[in-house]
Each structure stands twice: as structure tokens, then as C-alpha cells.
Amino acid sequence: MTLPQIEPPSQALTTLTDDERLFSESVYEFAEREIRPLARQMDERSAVADGLLNKLFALGVMGIEIAEESGGSGARFFHSVLAVESLSRVDPAIGVIVDVQNTLVINAVLRWGNERLKHEYLPRLASDTVGAYALSEAGSGSDAFAMTARATANGDRWSLTGRKLWITNANEAGLFIVFANANPDAGYRGITAFLVERGWEGFIVGHKEDKLGIRASSTCELVLDNCQVPASHVLGEVGKGYKVAIETLNEGRIGIGAQMIGLSRGALDYAIAYVKERKQFGQPIADFQAVQHQIARAATEVEAARLMVYNAARLRDAGKPFLTEAAMCKVFSSEVAERVTSLAVNLYGGYGFVKDYPVEKLYRDAKIGQIYEGTSNMQLQTIAKQILGS
């Protein structure tokens, strides 16, 4: 059999185009310069340092997919993945702020917003307004569509009542995507997404959680006390909020994969530097084959996770199906992050266990990857459904 003479694919999955490489490197350099010196203090204080959000806006990472004429960077989803990875290599708490802004909030407004909403909010999201995405409630996490928040039509307004829990960026956000059920009799087909501004009547940002990791990223409760929302602020269609949620979260979890690979690379960077420097038995601990193999295995796992995350993101940008790949990359990269950060703590020995050294923070930060934007069990359920066709 003769095979047709075709050019082999010219690029590896991790080969970046010039603009991707420049973008990724410039975000990483920014993170080294502006975030690394503040990371420990932000973790201790459970807050983003003053002025840092403004610098993230100025850098162009808060409106990556927003068109340049609306003040954004006019780039692709893959650039969001690169930005989240580069930031998370230094501080995963800052990585998730940028992740939610781009892969959930802006993504949803771009896809589901009408021209008026896009015109009103995209320039603000690109220039100075942090966004948040409010789906979960105390009683509905994995079973998100069992939400009890209600939306009642009232002339040219909607009135929202209920409570949302675990809302990332809520402390800083000016704009919230809030999900509430407008027709409980229709079950999940009543769920509707609304764009709600901070400060509107009946909208209250409540208790801020005291967390294990990613502490500089705020996570708050929202109280909707007859919150008044103009009818024009429905995102998508009434009763189609479940689609908004499913589709944005499918993409958002690639961003969490990016956070996890960035975090893992950060932990590995520290571990590699430390084992070369730390001496026991008269030699650097990097000379022990057991340590070499541990580092080699961790690097292999990080590479595999990176390939999975990049592949899912590239599929998404190519307009190809990516549901299974997105779920797989989140499950795997979050498990890798837990293992690699745990190894980094081990290789630092006692120093790994104290806050004077950076790896215990990354170990704490890693845990969230298996929980938010769909727990690992829920990702495995999605993968199984696709594979088994059930």
C-alpha cells in the first residue's frame, strides 16, 4: 500500500505561536515581579494586595477575549489558559481571580449577552470591573440545578430572592452573573441567568470564608433580598440559564486545569532548586537516585497534565468537541497538583512544613482543584457518560 505524501503536522501541542509565547512570558515576568514578593502576605491576610487588581487590568489579562475596540486584548481562550497557568505558577489565588473573570464571566457575556449588554459591560470588564459567577448554594453544589434562589417577574423588573454560597471574587466584584429559578414548576428549565451589579437594591455581599488555600481569592456568600434587576439584564433567555451554566462551566474547568498545571510547575521549580542546594550525608540531596526518580516522575506527570490542558483548550478554540477532554484534564491535573505539591513538601523536609518556606502554601492551594467547578466525582461521571454512552 502506498500512502499519500502529506506534510507531517509541524507543531507539537506545547509549541506556542510567537504571540502565545510572548504573552505567556510577559504574564510570567509580571507575576515574578509584582506577585511573588506579595504572595505570602496576601495568603496571611486573606486579601489581594492594594493596587494589584489595577495592575492586572493594565496588563490586559482581565479582558483577554474581549475585542480590542471594547478595550480588551482581542485574544483567544488559549491565551486565557496561558495567563492562568503563568500566574498560578507564582500564586494560584491570583490565577483563579483571572480565571473566573475570563473563562466564566466574560465567556458567558460574550456568548449569551445581547448587543446592549455586551456594549454596556464588556468595556467595563476589560478596564476596571471584576466579575463573579454565582451558581452554587448551601444546599446545591454538585446538584447545582436544585437551587432554591427564585426570580419573580414584576413589570419591567425581576425580583431575586435567595442565597448564593462560595462565590469567588465576590468581595471585589462589581458585576455578578446570578442564577435563579424563574419557573420552579419547570424544574431546571426554569433556571435563568441574570447580570446583576453590586449595589443594586436588595443585593448584599455577605460572609467571607476563611479558607485552607487560595486565601487571597475571596469566597463569599451573596444574599438576594428582593434584589431588583431590570428585565433587560437576563443573560441569554429566560429558562435557558442551565445552558449558560453547563456551557460556561465546561470551558471554565479547562481554566482550573491551567491553574493546577501552573501551580504544579511552581512547586516543581521550588523542589528542583531546593534539592540541588540542600546537602545531607555530605552531598546535595539531588544526588540521591531516589530523589532524582521522584523529581522525574513529578515532571512527567506535570508534562502529561499540561498536554491534556493544552489539548482541551486548543480543541475548544478550534470549535471541536472538548467536553470529555475538559473533564479529564481537570481530574488529572488536580490530582497531579496534589501529588507534586505533596512531594515538594516532602523534599523540603521539616522546612516544607513551616510557613517560612513557600511549598506548604502551594500544597494547601492545590486541594481546591478537586472541588470547585465540579468535583472530581462529577468529572468522572461526565467522562463515564461519554465513554459508556449511558
Ligand X SMILES: Cc1cc2nc3c(=O)[nH]c(=O)nc-3n(C[C@H](O)[C@H](O)[C@H](O)COP(=O)(O)OP(=O)(O)OC[C@H]3O[C@@H](n4cnc5c(N)ncnc54)[C@H](O)[C@@H]3O)c2cc1C
Residue 313 is placed in which grid cell?
483548550
Would you say 52 or 167 has its CB closer to ligand X? Answer: 167
Q: What residues from 8 to 67 belong to the interface with ligand X (CB under 6 A)?
A: none
In the set 221, 325, 360, 373, the catalytic residue is 373
Q: What residues from 128 to 187 belong to the interface with ligand X (CB under 6 A)?
A: 133-136, 141-142, 166-168
Question: x/- binding map, residues 219-258, to ligand X, per CB under 6 A?
Answer: x---------------------------------------
Query: What are the DSSP E strand ranges found in 126-230?
Result: 131-134, 150-154, 157-168, 175-181, 191-197, 203-208, 219-230
Stretch that binds ligand X, among 260-268, 277-285, 299-307, 375-383 (CB under 6 A): 375-383
Per DSSP, 136 falls in state -
Question: x/- binding map, residues 334-373, to ligand X, per CB under 6 A?
Answer: ----------------------------------x--xxx
Whole-angstrom distance, CA of residue 251 vs CA of residue 312:
9
| 25 is an active site residue | no
Would you say 244 or 271 has its CB closer to ligand X? Answer: 244
Q: How many helices and strands (H and E) does the chain possess?
A: 12, 10
β-strand pairing of 175-181 with 219-230 = unpaired
Smallest gap from Cβ 169 to ligand X, in A, equals: 7
Would you say 26 or 148 has its CB closer to ligand X? Answer: 148
Instruction: Pick left, alpha or beta for residue 374 (phi over 0 → left; psi -120 to 50 → alpha; otherwise beta).
Output: left
Where would I find the H helices in 51-145? 52-59, 77-88, 92-99, 107-112, 115-127
Q: Of 323, 375, 388, 380, nearest to 141 (Cα)?
A: 375
Smallest gap from Cβ 104 to ligand X, in A, equals: 7
- Counting residues that bind ligand X (by CB under 6 A) gives 21
Contact set with ligand X (CB under 6 A): 100, 133-136, 141-142, 166-168, 211, 219, 368, 371-375, 377-378, 381
Catalytic residue ranges: 373
